[in-house]
Amino acid sequence: MRLLVALLALILTAIGGPARAADRVVSLNLCTDQMLVLLAPERIAALSTLARDPTLSFVAEQAERFPTVRASAEAVLRLRPDLVLGTRFGARTTLALLERQGVEVVRTDLPQDFPAIRDWIRLLAERLRQVERGEALIAAMDAELVGSVGQATHPPNAVAMQPRGYTSGPGSLMDAVLRAAELANASGGRRMSAETLLRHPPDILVLPVAPAHPSLATAMLRTPAFAAIPTRYYRPAWTICAGPFTGRAVEALRR
Amino acid sequence: MNRGLALVSVLLFALSLMVGDSVFGSAPLSIMVDIRLPRSALAWLVGAGLGLSGAVLQGALRNRLADPGLLGVSGMAGLGSVIVFYWGWSQAFAPALPIGGLVGAGLGVAFLLVFAGRAPSGSALILAGVAVSALSASAMALALTLAPNPFALAEITFWLLGGLEDRSLTHLALAAPPMLCGMAILLRLGTGLDALSLGEDAAASLGVRVDSVLRLAAIGTALTVGAGAAVAGGIGFVGLIVPHVLRPFVGERPGGLLVASLFVGGCLLTLADMLVRVVPLLLPVAQTPPLGVITALLGAPILILLARKAAP
């Protein structure tokens, strides 16, 4: 009987996951997922499920090659990670449980402007021991930002409208993108109805490209009457998470 | 009386055009035409469709509790629309949206009529309707959970409680033709429903083809309620309360209720939607209440009154 139990335990641990390799990293947040793919793909034990969504993730295609995991402590432990990446506010109970089990957890604050993006890339690059790749990502982003000093004398007014009619107010990542693209953010970050937008039309309306699958929240951005306002589009994957790819949004909106 | 109701409808419609979602009064033409016109027109049309189909269902099923919302017809219409909308069919082919709604509504109302033919009592029919309603609501929640867009599940309030926010001329163009066809069918059922109130055998002896009256009632209801729910979500209680409010004035004859129910339903929902838009202007709230909340707050007490009256 005891032998049977021991055997069973052995089989279960064998099923439990591959043998412990050095430096296996799990990411539980879309934003850290993308940084992990860009900085240290060879060390990925698992990414969050959102990493594969092409409307949300800049690295959706690369992410297909890696396993995904839900933010559940048990599922993550089974992967035997050495390091788990998360954010300060996401999956709090899961991260706390993992720490109690002796897993190293890195919680970062998500950056909201370009200097903070550079700091964030450096911080993660250091933790993943990929300082050179980090510097290369920053250099590539800065190359896309070149030419935008954000100091045009009369920048056109712009409203960046998000699904459900929310606008991007001061202090948001989109606000930093607009400033870098030499546009003046004319919205206060509150919800704006179609009627209010048309009553006070900005010089430029900034919208995300339509998602592959619709919702009422995103369909309202396609209100036919908005066609009267000059519109510039960006891919939401560039701005949902800040990252080196956020420079692409600036490039798309600058023109 | 009907002429008076038509006049009130026109006045309310004009007033509705004057209520913006941030200001009272007129606005530039583009805002009037592109934003306020579709919203006001849909409010009246959807309300009129619900009021009329409520009156027809109460006559056809000979049950005063019959209502497209309570019997799950609106819920089934919402389910059909949800499937068509979130999986991108209506993006590829816009009329798929009302079609999804009326296929769902058609299935719901067909089930009810078949069930009513065999139902031992009126309360059994209402119970079956409540079951259809619960089933459609949970199937809708399941569909929204599985939908590929991350915003989908949060939008269940719209599909369960309705709303007319951000409806454009496109929505009006999609929903109005099937709704008007449905209304035209339902309005012609007056004589048939009057005969049916005497019982199926008596109606048949009067030369009324009972089957065809019931079939037309089902088709008309599916068209009006289905296309309406596809663009305005599930708005409840209008079909229940309107005929009840009208009976003391118009009389018990089901046929006599139809035109009046159409107008009063339209007026009721126009008023309710104006209230929705006025709330943020008068109260310090950031969100507007869903349209169906207003109609439920009006309708639920009436339902309770009815239940008390019906109790021995």
Q: What is the pLDDT of residue B283?
A: 79
- pLDDT of B124-153, one tens digit each? 888 889 999 999 999 999 999 999 888 898
Q: Residues of B with CB below 8 A from A198's CB? A: 28, 30-31, 34-35
Nearest to B57 by CA among B207, B246, B189, B156: B189
Q: What is the pLDDT of residue B20?
A: 83
CA-nearest residue to A197 within chain B is: B31
Of B26, B93, B149, which to mutate for an interface test with A (greatest number of A Cβ within 10 Å)?
Answer: B149
Tell me whether residue B115 is in a domain.
Answer: yes
Tell me whether residue B295 is in a domain.
Answer: yes
Give the pTM: 0.84
Q: Residues of A with CB below 8 A from B90's CB? A: 214
Host H or E run for residue A26: strand A25-27
Which residues in chain B land under pLDDT 70? 119-120, 310-312
Task: State yes or no: pLDDT of A45 exceeds 80.
Answer: yes
Selecting from A198, A213, A219 the residue whose C-beta is nearest the C-beta of B148 gives A213
Torsion of CA B102, B108, B110, B112, to 10 degrees: -150
Q: How far apart are CA A250 and CA A176, in angstroms?
A: 9
Q: The domain containing residue B79 runs over which residues?
A: 43-310
Task: State yes or no: pLDDT of A73 exceeds 50.
Answer: yes
Contact flag B30-A191 (C-beta cutoff 8 Å): no
Tell me whether residue B8 is in a domain.
Answer: no
Helix (H/G/I), strand (E/B), else coil: A205: strand
Q: What is the pLDDT of residue A15?
A: 47
- Whether A23-109 and A111-255 share one fold: the answer is yes
Task: State yes or no: pLDDT of A21 exceeds 60.
Answer: no
Q: What is the band of A2 on the pLDDT scale with cuts at 50, 70, 90? A: low
Q: What is the pLDDT of residue B282?
A: 80
CATH number at residue B245: 1.10.3470.10
Q: Cα dist. B297→A132, B137, B278, B283, B303 in Å?
A: 63, 19, 17, 18, 11
Distance of CA A224 to the CA centre of its chain: 30
Q: What is the pLDDT of residue A112?
A: 93
Domain extent listing, chain A: 23-109, 111-255
| Backbone φ/ψ region at A6: left (φ over 0), alpha (ψ -120 to 50), beta | alpha
Please state, rounded to an integer, the average pLDDT across all residues of chain A. Answer: 88
Q: What is the band of A20 on the pLDDT scale with cuts at 50, 70, 90? A: very low
Tell me whether residue B85 is in a domain.
Answer: yes
Contact flag A225-B20 (C-beta cutoff 8 Å): no
Distance between B144 CA and the closest CA of chain A, angstroms: 10
Selecting from B31, B87, B158 the residue whose C-beta is nearest the C-beta of A216 gives B158
The larger pLDDT score, comparing residue A149 to residue A30, is at A30
CATH topology of domain A23-109: Rossmann fold (3.40.50)
Selecting from A195, A211, A220 the residue whose C-beta is nearest the C-beta of B31 gives A195
Task: State yes or no: pLDDT of A5 exceeds 80.
Answer: no
Contact flag A212-B148 (C-beta cutoff 8 Å): yes
% of residues, chain A, pLDDT over 70? 89
CATH topology of domain A111-255: Rossmann fold (3.40.50)
Name the domain count of chain B: 1
Q: What is the pLDDT of residue B308?
A: 82
Task: State yes or no: pLDDT of A161 exceeds 90.
Answer: yes
Tell me whether residue B26 is in a domain.
Answer: no
Q: How many CA atoms does the CB half-sphere of B160 hold within 13 Å?
A: 18
Q: Residues of A with CB below 8 A from B286's CB? A: 191
Q: Flag the least confident range among A17-21, A160-164, B248-252.
A: A17-21
Q: How far apart are CA A182 and CA A196, in angstroms?
A: 24
Q: Cα dist. B236→A187, B159, B189, B270, B279 in Å?
A: 36, 11, 23, 14, 20
Task: State yes or no: pLDDT of A1 exceeds 80.
Answer: no
Task: State yes or no: pLDDT of A18 exceeds 70.
Answer: no
Size (chain B), residues:
312
Q: Which residues does B contribute to its contact with A (CB < 8 Å)?
A: 20-23, 27-28, 30-31, 34-36, 85-88, 90-91, 147-152, 154-155, 158, 165-166, 168-170, 286
Helix locations, chain A, DSSP H: 2-16, 30-39, 60-63, 73-78, 92-100, 114-127, 131-145, 173-180, 194-199, 216-219, 236-239, 246-254
Q: Residues of A with CB below 8 A from B151's CB? A: 163-164, 215-218
Of B26, B29, B34, B36, which to mutate for an interface test with A (greatest number of A Cβ within 10 Å)?
Answer: B34
Contact A130, A111 (CB under 8 A): no
